[in-house]
A = this chain, B = another copy of it.
Amino acid sequence: MTKKVIIVGGVAGGATAAARLRRISEEIDIILVERGEYISFANCGLPYYVGETIKDRNKLLVQTVEGMSERFNLDIRNLSEVENIDPEEKTVTIKNLQTGEVYKETYDKLLLSPGARPIVPPIPGLDENQALFTLRNVPDTDRIKNYVDTQKPEKAVVIGGGFIGIEMAENLVDRGIEVTIIQMANQIMAPIDFEMASILHKHLKEKGVNLILENSVQAFADQGKQVILLDGTEIQTDMTILSIGVRPENELAKTAGLELGERGGIIVNDYLQTSNQDIYAVGDAVEVVDYINGKKAMIPLAGPANRQGRIAANNIMGKNEKYQGTLGTSIAKVFDLTVAATGNNEKTLKRLGVAYEVVHIHPSSHAGYYPGAAPIALKLIFDKETGKIFGAQAVGADGVDKRMDVIATAIKGNLTVEDLTNLELSYAPPYSSAKDPVNMAGYVATNIMLGDLEQIQWHEVDQVVADGGLLIDVREPKERENGYIPGSINISLNDLRENLDEIPKDQTVYVSCQVGLRGYLASRILKNNGFDVKNVDGGWKTYSSVYGVN
């Protein structure tokens, strides 16, 4: 029987597990060991405290050591580090970081929720950099905020265009700082695909951020005042944020002989048990199963960490709850836009060799006639044969989170793209349209499954035109003034029926419009008149988000 549980790490996974353990039993001893001063803090809020959107530092501390000890009758030992695990003896060695005292503590069950730490590569000049920061916890935040408050930097470089990098960029801009983001890949925000990220690239530039893609840092010079890029570019800066990703805090697990995965994550079974049955592990430190493709993955997010903490607590107390894997639903605010994703993206499916189909639509967040509606770029990725939803991505100023959550829920309910058309979502003009964007994505995807709509993608169209394909832009002539796909000819949708004679029947005809809808209507007219026709998915809007306005 479990009588004494030791938890390593007192934030998302650890604190949640501690609270849940106590709710299950009043009898067990629960020792929560945390290296830092603070437990249960709001990691996800940290960038916004730097940017002063969150003004009160205390708000970052969701629970205090005192408060949580009292409420949950916990033995919380902060500023204490677990240095070693002896799985044979079932003891841990703890170092009191204030006194230096080192002592052993026995356990019946041990739970590891040590999180992850920012990756810091051995960049030349790094040690001499006087203004280099990473961001993981409250002290990191204090350091950055203090630097900004007192040193009043004018320029900052953010290395890495992931969630934390982008959030930091925005918050530094909010402090009046000129920000340059340096990103090694050709896009920011890895969970989404390139054409979706392109919308963000444009937005960042509009907000004055200097975005440098496909480049990386070769060295720091002048005590960090100079950042030298791989291609030789030299950037002057007053501070640098290094946010190129995290790696699991796996040292304890490694030395204890627990199995680790390829990417260094602690391996756990469905019950979140490590290779030692008395040791559980959760959160950023563990390898999870990707809910869509069943492969191993590292997905460092707060929701999964919290959920896993509760499940591990249940299992420690003898329940038998399985963790279902991680879907990876994620979201970020990027200035005036929101970007969100769920499930697998094209890049992942391509890598795994999975056949998939995608649709891009650009619906309004709510009825266009009611003020405040904003377009959403919504991408749905699915299996053309079965209708299974592989994933979705969205970017827009309003209503993005809702649509992503609906699709994430649909995935968990095993709904197909056709089922999306039958979702009954709440509609009044301030909130949606009678056909919600998610319904609409479902319609388009279903039409593809049924063969009623054939399409080509933004990245295929230039080649089609180069190869002599006939591309008809069915928008109104006036709309073309704002840009069009090179090589397209113009026959507006309303003139199409009268001009069928001019269109060749012996070759595939391609149509495009602003967002894809009129192209679809044109394709129906043409198909029903015996033409072989394909629509440019997402229309000019998706195409131009990548290639810009010509």
Q: Which residues of A contact B (CB under 8 A)?
A: 12, 22-27, 42, 44-45, 48, 53-54, 59-60, 62, 70-71, 73, 163, 167, 291, 301-307, 324, 326-333, 338, 340, 342, 367-371, 401-402, 404-406, 408-410, 412-415, 419, 421-432, 434-436, 439, 452, 493-494, 497, 521, 524-525, 528-529
Instruction: Identify 10 new A-B residue pairs, CB closer than 8 A, beyond the known A45-B370, A48-B429.
Output: A26-B529, A54-B370, A307-B421, A307-B439, A328-B424, A329-B424, A330-B426, A408-B423, A408-B425, A408-B426
Q: Chain B contacts of A370 at CB under 8 A? A: 45, 48, 53-54
Pair B414/A60 contact, Cβ less than 8 Å: no
In the docked arrangement, what's the CA distance between A303 and B421, Å? Answer: 11
Q: Chain B contacts of A525 at CB under 8 A? A: 26
Minimal beta-carbon separation of A318 from chain B (angstroms): 14
Of B44, B369, B426, B427, the residue contacting A428 (CB under 8 A) is B44
Pair B427/A302 contact, Cβ less than 8 Å: yes
Pair A342/B424 contact, Cβ less than 8 Å: yes
Closest B residue by C-beta to A72: B521
Pair A521/B71 contact, Cβ less than 8 Å: yes
Minimal beta-carbon separation of A245 from chain B (angstroms): 17
Closest 3 pairs (CB-CB, A-B)? A413-B413, A331-B426, A59-B369
Closest B residue by C-beta to A44: B429
Pair A426/B53 contact, Cβ less than 8 Å: no
18 contacts between A and B (CB under 8 A): A23-B521, A26-B528, A42-B367, A44-B434, A45-B367, A59-B368, A71-B494, A167-B428, A307-B421, A329-B425, A331-B426, A331-B427, A342-B424, A402-B405, A404-B426, A405-B423, A412-B422, A413-B419
Q: Chain B contacts of A48 at CB under 8 A? A: 370, 429
Pair A23/B524 contact, Cβ less than 8 Å: yes
Once A406-B409, A426-B340, A529-B26 are accepted as A-B contacts, the answer to whether A434 and B45 lie under 8 Å apart by CB is no
Closest B residue by C-beta to A326: B424
Minimal beta-carbon separation of A272 from chain B (angstroms): 14
Of B60, B303, B493, the residue contacting A427 (CB under 8 A) is B303
